[in-house]
Amino acid sequence: MTPFLAASELAGLQDFCQRHNFPSFRARQIASWLYEHCVTDPEDMKNLPAAIRSALKEEFLAPGTVIAENSKSSGEVEKLLLRLFDGECIEMVIIPSEKRLTFCLSTQVGCPVGCYFCASGRNGLTRNLSAGEMLEEFCIGTRRAGRPDNLVFMGIGEGLLNFEQLAVTLNTLVDKFTFSPRRITVSTSGFVPGMEKFASLKREFNLAVSLHAPDDETRSKLIPPKLRYPVAEVLRAADRIAEANNRQYTLEYTLIEGINDSPSHAEKLGKLAFSHHAKINLIPYNETGGPFRRPQPEVIDRFEKTAADTGARITRRIERGAKGTAACGQLRAAGNKKIQENN
């Protein structure tokens, strides 16, 4: 397969220059465009002669990904629909706040976990993203909005089921793009074998575990059995990661009416988080056209208070993306529908 320029190493670029009889300092220039300026299109590498630019375009996917659509919702959250080299689409979200800029990145086209409430997994997995594609998401976002303060792998897909490419992406972000691992968060639905590999990276990445339920019975209403692991095993794996990475982890809790929003769920969740030294992040459900509903505001408030009363640290996901097609996977679903309608 044609390699992505965005995932190239300096050694590979030096090899490219040697094969084409280009002077070796050109490799460092290309690397600098990539890693310092996030430029992936040779046409924009202004100090390169035309012959090098066209050779790069011939040998690499440079770039492999383009912006197909953007949807601004209130609060200036920007959702980008990205078209990949093979015509598939993914999303990334640019989330500015007063204090920091966050990018939410996708790891797969679709998702094999298929949580019942999530638009991303509705049609299963199409394919994994390569490291080059994940790095291009980062580069596209940076060129558009500036260098982010935080990166969260919480877009489409279960990154820990695409571990090898995710690990290359994470290590490249730290080693080449000089991004601090403490500012990168990987979110998982609790895929334990992947969590074990993530612990073995032994870097200070953050972990977010999509627990959504303090007990297995409730969790079985949200996540299909195929890739679901018991709550106790998931938390054990998360504890090991916290130890290996030297970071406290987050329990994400998508709050859904009548399923996981009772005071007893809140109390059990608070106790679990407290005893595992984890933070809770409450995500009021964004409705996606299925049967699940977001609880009433007073139910969300009560849940938050009950969980906090156990002594656990709890925050609520900022809701500036709640309008339009803001929920995970919805823009891609809408984009695919449009593409089908046009065919």
Which residues of this chain interact with ligand SAH, rule CB under 6 A? 111, 117-118, 154, 158, 187-189, 210, 252, 254, 283, 285-286, 288, 327-328
Smallest gap from residue 271 Cβ to ligand SAH (A) = 20
With respect to ligand SAH, which residue has the nearer C-beta, 58 or 164?
Answer: 164
Piece in contact with ligand SF4 (CB under 6 A), picked from 83-91, 110-118, 168-176, 305-313: 110-118
Asked if residue 189 binds ligand SF4 (CB under 6 A), the reply is yes
Smallest gap from residue 161 Cβ to ligand SAH (A) = 8
Quote the CA–CA distance of 173 and 167 in Å, as a whole number: 10
Closest listed residue to residue 274, CA positions, set 307, 311, 329, 240: 311
Smallest gap from residue 114 Cβ to ligand SF4 (A) = 5
Catalytic residue among 91, 136, 137, 252: 91
**Helix runs in the chain, H state only:** 10-19, 25-37, 50-59, 131-145, 163-175, 192-200, 216-219, 231-245, 263-275, 297-308, 330-342
Asked if residue 295 binds ligand SF4 (CB under 6 A), the reply is no
Q: Known catalytic residue: 158?
A: no
Binding residue for ligand SF4, selected from 118, 199, 238, 241, defined by CB under 6 A = 118
SS3 15: helix
List Cβ neighbours of 130 (8 Å cut-off, separation of 6 or more).
4, 7, 165
SS3 6: helix
**Distances 183 to 22, 64, 67, 75, 99 between C-alpha atoms, Å:** 37, 26, 25, 22, 14
Asked if residue 195 binds ligand SF4 (CB under 6 A), the reply is no
Q: Known catalytic residue: 111?
A: no
Phi, psi (rounded to 5 degrees) for 295:
-65, 160
Binding residue for ligand SF4, selected from 14, 120, 142, 245, defined by CB under 6 A = 120
Asked if residue 152 binds ligand SF4 (CB under 6 A), the reply is no
Asked if residue 114 binds ligand SF4 (CB under 6 A), the reply is yes
